[in-house]
Amino acid sequence: MDLTFRVNGKNYPLTLAPATRLSDVLRDHLGLIGTKVGCNAGDCGACTVLVEDRQICACMMSAQQAAEKDITTVEGLGGQELLNDLQAAFLRHGAVQCGICTPGMLMAASDLLRRNQTPNRVQVEDALGGVLCRCTGYQKIIEAVMDVTASFSDAATAPSKSVGVSIAKLDGPAKLTGTEIFGADAIPADCLWVKIIRSPFASADIELGDFADIISRTEGLEGILTHKDVPFNRFGIYATGKDQPVLAETCVRYRGDAIVAVVGTREGVVKITLADLLIRLTEKPPVAGIAAAKAPGAAQLHADKPGNLLIEGQVLKSTAREAPQATDITVEGRFETSFVEHAYIEPEAGWAQPVGPHGSRGLEMHVTTQTAAMDRAEIASILQIDAGRVRVLPTACGGGFGGKLDLSVQPVLAVAALRFNKPVACVYERPESMAASTKRHPTEIACKFTARRDGRLVSVDMTAEFNTGAYASWGPTVAERVPVHGSGPYYVPNVHVTGRAYFTNSPPSGAFRGFGVPQAAIAHEAMMDDLAEAIGVDRLDIRLLNAVRCGDETATGQVLQASAGLAECLQKLQPHWTKLTAATSSFNQQNQRGPIRKGVGIGAMWYGIGNTAISNPSTMDVGIGRDGSLVLFNGAVDIGQGSNTILPQICADALGLPVQKFSYIMGDTDLTRDAGKTSASRQTFVSGKAAEIAGTALRGQILRHANAGTGARLDLAGTTLRIVEDGTVREIELSGLASDKDGMVFRAEGRFDPPTMPLDGNGQGVPYATYGFAAQIAEVSVDLDLGTTRVTRILAAHDVGRAINPQQVEGQIHGGIAQGLGMALMEEYIPGKTENLHDYLIPTIGDMPEIDVFIIEDPEPLGPFGAKGVGEPGLVPTAPAIFSAIRNATGVRVTRAPMLPHRLRAAILRQARTSG
Amino acid sequence: MGDYCLPQSLTELRAALSDGKAHILAGGTDFYPQRVGQPLPKNIVDITNMSDLKGIRETDDFWHFGAITTWRDILDANLPLLFDGLKTAAREVGGQQVQNAGTIGGNLCNASPAADGVPVFLSLGASVELSTGERTRTINLADFITGNRKTVLRSGEILTAVLVPKTGSPQVKSLFLKLGARKYLVISMVMVAIVVEMDEAGIITTCRIAIGACSEVAMRLDGLEQVITGREKNKDLAALVTADHLAALAPVTDVRASREYRLDAALTLVRRALDTLGRGA
């Protein structure tokens, strides 16, 4: 049908099916890719646009209904280059992280601001309540919308230093104008589309039939890939033990396991379902949960893993002179957590194309990922070709949180591109993303903490068992990391922590912000509250008394040399703690007859920065080109956490040129070197150090070239590089010099591998070069009659070594807190039941409290300018602090996450019965 | 008829629905989410251009809400106190995107046990007008929805309007409470909608209490309504509620909440609602 669309003031006549979703009209027919699709169900709001000045989800409006109406998209706000006041406020406040929700947020805010120029916080929350953000914790978004009308001058002179300055994200403007390219945003029109047909059963035997008939009689279906098309049908994180098939062979091991991949036109593949294919599935009783996996006679998921045990790790340390005594106080507990979904707003997406006839020169992959270099190695392994023939060009990543460390669309795209000799694309719908992707490990922890009567910890015993799901994924990492961290951020002379991961017929549990440490922290912090109660000391005081400090030995026998700022974090919070505890108890006394009880709680954490006890280097290149460009060849993927800005900031100060001069190439495996994965809070620390070394080396090169001393000042203007020393100016005309293949005249490399030592059989050694520390206070308000918990305030003190960009550090902490709050109160993934974003709940803008962040800077000498990581630490202490506060409010000791209203209400009733 | 039909009138609608295979599209907030990753169907009948189905108007006896009235239309309309509960419900449906597009007719026809519109319109004593374009019938809302996603709509028939009887009572109060596990974009665990009418002396002459998400179809609490009716509006109303009054509810245990919790929370919310109404000016 012929319809005319009036978008951003321009008319577009189109011929298309009138039921087409408006989001598809905008993206596929008009190329306005600033409007994002996160769920196609109105659950996430990423596709929010204005129709006749009102916000609607473009995924739920038909083309017919939108035709002839005034439509405004993000592209219509300021323009391709210009930011309007709202976009500028977002940039100024650091309200953008990954950027995938940003267009939706901007449009929802535009609806509000067209009616109310000076909204209050509640009005902002009401207007933006329909857009989910998984990165920012919403606080900076609220601040930005409330600050649109502020007069602001950007004429201020650029500071001479970059480190320590909250400069705006370098990739912020692209994310704000809708020009940033994410996984699904630049798929060529001539692509074939791939759809993966997945198992509806947790466990089944399968028998593939013959597909020749359906292929020949189905319009738009070009072929069906099976395991036989995959040269090496296994992938997995670790070089040995790859256990996940790209496509199933004789059985499926979880609901969502990939069976075959259908390839054809987009319209052709969308209509094909499992029922259309000749595949015989014989459902089998699944191994559900850890107890079932361990049970004698349990079905074995993998023949080479008896007892369904993937791995066991442990840390064992004893200190004879501080042995337990009969007079010590002992507390014990058992804790349980659920599957948690990453719920990045960008579903998995990408496209691939063969290079040269039938891929004779290899394969090019454009994909949303957290790790370009590892993707390249995995794709090469699956295709059984040399890694040098695979080029991975990571797109912008619309949120990862660990979930995009595993392969998703990459294997089938790689196989299909070579098999069909054409560009191929694959984009997951939300239910597929949730069913197929990895999850946070459900964990069962039993533990026993012992302390002297003065509160000093003597021993910790903990056994943590993990439901690692159908395949190994990052299970080994979790089983190793938790024993190291299980005794908490405290000095404990005697430690025995064991971690075991069991296979079950569930989604693979993988990496998720914290690698098991958030689950362990729920246990160790409840133990600290138990001890405080048993001994009769203040909950903050007992943590301060035991806080691990420089010179102390950790559970693995590592003596901390520097940058152990937990005590300082706790001291920073202490005056607030005193005030809040007094205020809440006075509130509760005055409102004894009402149903509301307030409570405050505290959680502390530590977190090893970088991969555990293995080499995990990063290499950065920086160069100055003939054209005067200053380029960071940056292999680290920015998944929203900010490395695209942080790394140039660090490099700029090492080099001595302003960060504004920098451009970067992110992650392209042909142009950048391996920076390692964006995981384990490692990019600022590891790649940051590499960027510093590279910057220093480039500076040295230039100074030597100019024969100048180390104190000289550099200045880059056009293609002229000036070296100023003691009033003397030397000029280098870059355009006249010889350059390398990338156009660089000067180029230097920096490499850093954090010094660690392998762990011995007792888990003793140096697993990490440095640790992040933090403590958070939560204040909650609990409705005793309904069991509902509202978090009213969070105060977070984090030792980050050095805040390279304080605003971005705050943003990381806010976002971590939002995920911690979700884990504590609402997030529980149940296969087959919560495979969408309305049954699986993540916090909305209205669920977040006001957050105060206190940045503690106890510098790490190994890190760039003293910095270490902060990506994961934000999340770790939040759930423990909230649970501590719920306990303070209600007396209920929380032993299961999430604490859903019905669980808390049941616990309150149980408690009333036993005490009554 | 074609793949996508856009009737302007009931006569055109009748033609469009004649083969009985039509998929009705209004605000799209259920239509599209039900088809994620699936091809869109043929035979779509988009009813949003039908002027007969638009708008809120008063007749002598009724408030007439056209089926394609959106939640936004309700929020923007100048309505008497009787509809305070409806306005609260409108404000709490989905996010503003859904409020701007979603229609009350769609909400009722979708017949979800957790549909926010059902308890609130039950508390208003609403009836629904159904039409084939040729024949029109009006039935009580309570008789319209028969089960989870089930209504008495016949093939070729659509819901055209929701009718709320006007009241002559000198005082009217209405209230809607929704309990969910987060602030926005949340599917209810329990909903309570109440309307009370009083005479000049403050004696309650009519009381309608409906509970949502605690049974396959939202339902009225007849026994409790009888207990409340005839009482004076005061702070003691809440104390009249007992668990027995909720005995007819049959909630399920699902990912959102347990059966026991829903019953318990419904009791708390009914008491709170009556307490609020009783104390209010």
In angstroms, the CA A422 to CA A190 distance is 8
Residue B1 confidence (pLDDT): 43
A901/B189 CB distance under 8 A: yes
A430/B179 CB distance under 8 A: no
Among chain A residues, the shortest Cα distance to B23 is held by A19
pLDDT per residue as tens digits for the range B126-137: 999 999 988 999
pLDDT category, A158, cuts 50, 70, 90? low
In angstroms, the CA B202 to CA B173 distance is 11
CB neighbour class for B34 (10 Å; exposed up to 12, middle 13-18, buried from 19):
exposed
Among chain A residues, the shortest Cα distance to B44 is held by A19
pLDDT per residue as tens digits for the range A711-727: 999 999 999 999 999 98
CB neighbour class for A250 (10 Å; exposed up to 12, middle 13-18, buried from 19):
exposed
pLDDT per residue as tens digits for the range A311-350: 999 999 999 999 999 999 999 999 999 999 999 999 999 9
pLDDT category, A240, cuts 50, 70, 90? confident
Facing residue for A61 by CB, picked from B33, B101, B181:
B101
Q: A-B interface: how many C-beta pairs under 8 angstroms?
A: 167
For chain A, percent of residues with pLDDT exceeding 70: 99
* B277 shares contact with chain A (CB less than 8 Å): no
Side-chain-side CA neighbours of A9 within 13 Å: the count stands at 6
Among chain A residues, the shortest Cα distance to B42 is held by A19
Mean per-residue pLDDT, A135-162: 83
pLDDT per residue as tens digits for the range B219-247: 999 999 999 999 999 989 999 999 999 99
Query: Which of A65, A132, A138 to probe by mutation at the B interface, max B CB count within 10 Å?
Result: A65
Query: Which of B50, B96, B189 to probe by mutation at the A interface, max A CB count within 10 Å?
Result: B96
Crossing angle between the packed helical segments A878-890 and A566-590, to the nearest 10 degrees: 30
pLDDT per residue as tens digits for the range A459-482: 999 999 999 999 999 999 999 999
Classify the complex by whether its ipTM is higher than 0.85, answering yes or no.
yes
Whether pLDDT at B281 is above 90: no
B37/A132 CB distance under 8 A: no
CA proximity to B219, closest of B144, B137, B272: B144
CB neighbour class for A913 (10 Å; exposed up to 12, middle 13-18, buried from 19):
exposed
Question: How far does A310 lie from chain B, in Å, by closest CA?
Answer: 29
* B28 shares contact with chain A (CB less than 8 Å): yes
Q: Which residues pair with A853 in a beta bridge?
A: A796
Residue B2 confidence (pLDDT): 63
Residue owning tokens 């480190």: A163
Q: Mean pLDDT of all residues in chain A?
A: 97
Among chain A residues, the shortest Cα distance to B260 is held by A902
Cα–Cα distances (Å) from A451 to A303, A323, A546, B230, in that order, read: 44, 11, 10, 64
Residue A209 confidence (pLDDT): 93
Query: Which of B184, B192, B256, B260 to probe by mutation at the A interface, max A CB count within 10 Å?
Result: B184
Q: What would the two tokens of residue A127 be?
A: 């207007």
For A560, list phi and psi in degrees, rounded to 5: -70, 130
In angstroms, the CA A639 to CA B185 distance is 26
* B184 shares contact with chain A (CB less than 8 Å): yes
Residues 114-173 on B with a CB inside 8 Å of A are none
For residues B6, B12, B13, B19, the Cα torsion angle rounded to the nearest 10 degrees is: -100
Residues 73-112 on B with a CB inside 8 Å of A are 91, 94-98, 100-101
Among chain B residues, the shortest Cα distance to A848 is held by B183
Facing residue for B95 by CB, picked from A61, A130, A909:
A130
pLDDT per residue as tens digits for the range A562-587: 999 999 999 999 999 999 999 999 99
Residue A387 confidence (pLDDT): 97
Facing residue for A60 by CB, picked from B29, B44, B179:
B29
Cα–Cα distances (Å) from B122 to A739, B106, B178, B219, in that order, read: 78, 16, 15, 8
A19/B27 CB distance under 8 A: no
In angstroms, the CA A343 to CA A430 distance is 9
pTM comes to 0.98
pLDDT per residue as tens digits for the range B28-64: 999 999 999 999 999 999 999 999 999 999 999 999 9
SS (H, E, C) A308-340: HEEEEEEEEECCHHHCCCCCCEEEEEEEECCCE
Facing residue for A62 by CB, picked from B25, B95, B181:
B25
Residue A357 confidence (pLDDT): 82
pLDDT category, A79, cuts 50, 70, 90? confident
Whether pLDDT at A302 is above 80: yes
> Which amino acid appears at position A905 of this protein?
R
A845/B183 CB distance under 8 A: yes
Residue A156 confidence (pLDDT): 52
Q: What would the two tokens of residue A890 be?
A: 């209600």
Whether pLDDT at B20 is above 50: yes
Measured in whole angstroms, the distance separating CA A285 from the mean position of its chain's CA atoms is: 34
Question: How far does B262 lie from chain A, in Å, by closest CA?
Answer: 8
